[in-house]
Amino acid sequence: MASRKKAPRKKKATKRAATRRRPGKTPVRESLGSAWRSTVTALGNAEAEVERQVRDLIDRNKLNRDDASRVLSRVSARIQRERKKAAKDLESTVKKVRAQLKKDRRTLDGMIQDAVHGTLAAFDIPSRKEVATLTRKVERLSRQIDQLPAGRKRTQPKRKPRSGAGSAA
């Protein structure tokens, strides 16, 4: 029977690769930026509409120029206050999101650490802490050995002679 060559598998795009973003462009930042832009646009459109209505009143002689100027200055001041308020609201939202992200990052870090330690334990691989502890013990024992008197002979343990029953083959 002839063996067939298998066609090389195409690499599948992973979900992680599909969701990668440029640094600095996070979904939260994009949505907050979008909300801010739409708020500024809405305020700008409202200001333009008020100006148009005031001009229409002036054109129909129902409002004189001094009154129109006062109305427009009050509307502009109100819009500036609303912009500042929106900026403060956005800033507080950003602070809350950053605090939540920091908290979630710490939680995720702890979960990852637990998973790594569990995996190392499952494969019976010592952790850095365990290796460091053993290294200190070996160094301590080495110092103790070096401090033993030099003239003292080491005694070799006596070996038992092997029985010949198991060695004949």
Identify the pLDDT of residue 63: 72
Domain ranges for the chain: 27-146
* pLDDT tops 50 at residue 129: yes
Distances in Å between the Cα of 144 and the Cα atoms of 59, 68, 137, 138, 141 are 104, 96, 11, 10, 5
Mean pLDDT of all residues in 30-34: 80
In whole angstroms, what is the distance from residue 150 CA to residue 156 CA? 16
Whether residue 5 has pLDDT greater than 60: no
Contact 58, 68 (CB under 8 A): yes
Q: Which of 1-5, 139-143, 160-164 has the lowest mean pLDDT?
A: 1-5
Give the model confidence (pLDDT) of 42-70 as tens digits. Answer: 888 888 888 888 778 777 777 777 887 88
Residue type, 28: V
Residue 75 identity (one-letter amino acid): V
pLDDT band for 169, please (50, 70, 90 cuts).
very low
Q: What is the pLDDT of residues 138-153, one digit of tens each?
A: 999 999 999 988 766 5
Query: pLDDT per residue over 11-28, tens digit each?
Result: 555 454 445 555 566 777
Q: 75-126 pLDDT, tens per residue?
A: 888 888 888 888 898 889 889 989 999 999 999 999 999 998 898 889 988 8
